[in-house]
Amino acid sequence: MKILGEKIRHYRKLRGISQSELADGICTQATVSLIEKKDKIPSMEILVRICERLGITMNLVIVNDDSQIYSIISDIKKSFYQDDFDDISDKLGKLKNINVNNKQEIKLIHFFNGLIEYVSSKNYDKAIFDFNRAMNVNIANVDMYDILIDVFTAKAYINKKSVDEARVYYNQAKDLIKSSLGKIGDENYHDSILIYANMADLSLKLDDNDKAIEYANEGIIIARKEQTLFKLDEMYCYLAEAGTREGQKTDEDYIKAYVISSISENKQVFEKLKSKVKDMHLNIF
């Protein structure tokens, strides 16, 4: 069980009473302060009396572990969409002292732990260990994160210069995509785009240019359908790079990637393309 201290504070302010007035005859003012600021869980008797004084039911200020876990993992996914890995790490820390029983949630926690090791710590051995723990969670139904687990495992092996091992997981991801085409289209578009963008990137790293073009185009189609700029600059960038390797004219794709990255303020892509556009003498406007 977790108490939402900010909710206690909200209802106390709403009633126009001080911490001391709320605590009077129930507990100390310091206890109320700890509840509000540190989410300290008081005895059930104290909590019941505080809620009675505030005129609220306890379900407004407490959440059980399952609800808390679901909420934290949902927030982690949002941070993943924004490439905010510091926030992911912080939220994973909040899950360490909570007993997680749901297999899907256990799988996701292992994956995100591996992702932090891969992106932030660059500890590729530990990342692979965590990704494999995620793979070993026995769940009957495949979801989008099973594909991403294979993708990032392959990327970790590439960083370890173990290309043969990377290709094993790359091929697994390709097979999962092939068998899940309808499902990918029905998923949260962020997850679908993440799969295609990362598969395009991985394909380039393994010199599979045709697949890089295919996956980038699939992601672009979804982004257009959803009218979102999410990862769109990166996908045009992958499309342009793969096309260049195949001897195709890619000026338009580079320009699109450059313009979209400037609009979406994706500094990493924008800086990468700034010199490229200049060297290629592309006319942006």
Higher pLDDT, residue 6 or 120 = 120
Q: Do the domains 188-284 and 2-63 match in fold?
A: no
DSSP annotation string for 157-196: HHHTT-HHHHHHHHHHHHHHHHHTHHHHHHS-HHHHHHHH
- Tokens 């993943």 map to which residue? 80
Checking if the pLDDT of 285 tops 60, the result is: no
Q: In the CATH scheme, what architecture does the domain 65-183 have? A: Alpha Horseshoe (1.25)
Structure tokens at 250: 């890619």
What residues have CB less than 8 Å from 49, skipping those under 6 apart? 26
pLDDT in tens, 39-75: 788 888 999 999 999 999 888 887 666 667 888 899 9
- Tokens 């790079």 map to which residue? 241
CATH superfamily for 2-63 is lambda repressor-like DNA-binding domains (1.10.260.40)
**Environment class of residue 166 by beta-carbon count within 10 Å: exposed (0-12), middle (13-18) or buried (19+)?**
buried
Q: Which parts of 62-186 fold into alpha helices (H)?
A: 65-81, 85-94, 103-116, 124-135, 144-159, 163-179, 181-186
Checking if the pLDDT of 185 tops 70, the result is: no
CB atoms within 10 A of CB 154: 27
pLDDT in tens, 78-113: 999 999 999 999 999 988 878 888 889 999 999 999
Backbone dihedral angles phi then psi of residue 231, each to the nearest 5 degrees? 60, 10
CATH of 188-284, one of 2.60.120.560, 3.90.1310.10, 1.25.40.10, 1.20.1090.10: 1.25.40.10
| Under 8 Å between Cβ of 245 and 210 | no
Tell me how far apart the alpha carbons of residues 251 and 283 are, in angstroms, rounded to a whole number: 9
| Under 8 Å between Cβ of 106 and 141 | no
pLDDT in tens, 113-146: 999 999 999 999 999 999 999 999 988 777 889 9
Per-domain residue ranges of the chain? 2-63, 65-183, 188-284
pTM for this structure? 0.76
| Under 8 Å between Cβ of 234 and 204 | no
Three-state secondary structure call for residue 82: coil
Checking if the pLDDT of 281 tops 90, the result is: no
CA 15 to chain CA centroid, Å, is 38
